[in-house]
Amino acid sequence: MNQDNDLVLEVRDVRTTFLTPRGPVRAVDGVSMSLRAGETLGIVGESGSGKSVLGRTVMGLVSNSPTTTVTGECLIDGRDVHTLKPNQRRQLWGPEVAMVFQDPMTSLNPVKRVGRHITEALRLHLGVGKKEAHDRAVELLRQVSIPEPVRRMTQYPHELSGGMRQRVVIAMALACDPKLLIADEPTTALDVTVQKQILDLLASLATERNMATILISHDLGAVEGRTDRVAVMYAGRTVETSRTSRVFNNPVHPYADALLASIPRIADDPHTVLRAIDGSPPNMLNPPDGCRFAPRCRFAVDRCREESPELRDLADGTDDTHLGACHFPLLPARQEVG
């Protein structure tokens, strides 16, 4: 991890609530985190845990409206995204923060050539001329390992493979040299080989540019070895966060432990049955009292079902923090209950 201590992102007690006909859904419920230049944070959890909504809230794509309420602070380079006017927020997108979405075809205009996707952002935010924007776009395509970048500039998105389209989206996101990049499931629907290429590319570009990065994924293998820290989310809340190696080697929350146990291992015998997590994620229209994981947790007792645990440091006096939200964390001396 780069040792630059410049704070790029600070999220303070963010809550994102969608007002639906059936009642309010708090998709993000009291999340706090910070990120420094050159640092990569992985956000993991099952589908519906609030990962993508958190990313879009940080970006400012989800904000206060007649159907959405956002509270708390999302400070990017010291400015709260949600106190900015819409035109100020748009000026922030590109030079300060950019996002790579999971489906490149939803990010690309099918009737617009690849080159125009990139040059428009360059001319709008950096004010460069047409020739300079073209040359810079070609160089960006080269940096994301797209072959024949000059020819690709004239092609349409449908003429490229899925992996190439995602590389174009990454080039678009990097065009204005953002301080923070949010990658939301950037390898969805790509084959395994291309997935690795895209993830390795993002990691190398973040290092080269000293860029703070958030990698959102339900794939734990995608964040292991590519992130400095990881936050595990469940039902809109952070249940565990620490250095990636600490979480993967010594998880303290039963949910994080269960997620890790469900990963297929190369060393496993053929046809080994994978461990599954019993039950289903809660209905966020009416989440359970107490710990939201309690209905699925083999360690749960009455206290877990009645009292919501606070996120606290469980690092046993070491220098690194290891936060967990559990009444009975999985510490070495723990005695199993239930």
Across 204-208, 267-271, 291-295, least confident range: 267-271
Measure Cα distances from 52 to 119, 210, 217, 285 in Å: 27, 24, 9, 18
* Res 250 pLDDT > 50: yes
Instruction: List the chain domain ranges.
Output: 261-338
* Res 5 pLDDT > 70: no
Contact 185, 198 (CB under 8 A): no
Encoding tokens for residue 121? 């952002």
Q: Which two tokens stand for residue 15?
A: 């809550």
- Kindly report which listed range (141-150, 271-280, 288-297) carries the lowest average pLDDT score: 271-280
Query: Three-state SS for 21?
Result: coil
**Predicted local distance difference test score (pLDDT) of residue 318:** 62
Question: With contact defined as beta carbons under 8 Å apart, do 76 and 95 qualify?
Answer: no
Q: At what angle do helices 192-209 and 162-174 cross, to 10 degrees?
A: 10
* Distance separating alpha carbons of residues 206 and 4, to the nearest angstrom: 13
- pLDDT value of position 337: 39
Token pair belonging to 235: 């039902």
Please check whether residue 290 is in contact with residue 296, taking contact to mean a CB–CB distance below 8 angstroms: no
pLDDT above 60 for 260: yes
* Model confidence at 287: pLDDT above 60: yes
| pLDDT at residue 1, as a whole number | 42
Please state, rounded to an integer, the average pLDDT across all residues of the chain.
91
Look-up of token digits 């300060």: 96
Name residue 20's beta-bridge partners.
23
DSSP-derived 3-state class of residue 278: coil
Q: Tell me the C-alpha distance between 316 and 332, whole Å.
A: 10
**Contact 137/115 with Cβ under 8 angstroms?**
yes
pLDDT in tens, 33-92: 999 999 999 999 999 999 999 999 999 999 999 999 999 999 998 999 999 999 999 889
Look up residue 293 and give its amino acid.
F
Average pLDDT over residues 212-218: 95
- Whole-angstrom Cα distance, residue 269 to residue 319? 38
Q: Confidence class of residue 254 from pLDDT cuts 50, 70 and 90?
A: very high
- Has residue 338 got a pLDDT over 50? no
Q: Sign of the CA dihedral 282, 71, 182, 65?
A: positive
Q: Which segments of the chain are extended strands (E)?
A: 7-20, 23-36, 40-44, 68-76, 79-80, 97-100, 180-184, 212-217, 229-234, 237-243, 312-313, 323-324
| pLDDT tens-digit readout, 120-155 | 989 988 888 999 999 999 999 999 999 999 999 999
Identify the CA nearest to 58 among candidates 215, 171, 281, 209. 215
Cβ proximity of 122 and 113 under 8 Å: no
Q: Which two tokens stand for residue 107?
A: 């990010």
Look-up of token digits 């190398």: 204
Give 265's strand partners: none
Residue 202, pLDDT score:
92
pLDDT > 90 fraction of the chain, expressed in percent and rounded = 75
Number of Cβ within a 10 Å radius of residue 45: 26
User: Does 335 score more than 50 pLDDT?
Assistant: no
Looking at residue 332, its pLDDT comes to: 59
Which residues neighbour 166 within 8 Å (Cβ) at sequence distance 6 or greater? 100, 104, 186, 187, 190, 194, 198
Lowest mean pLDDT among 36-45, 160-169, 183-192: 183-192
Query: What token pair was written down for 309?
Result: 């645990």
User: Nearest Cα to 144, choosing from 176, 178, 112, 169?
Assistant: 169
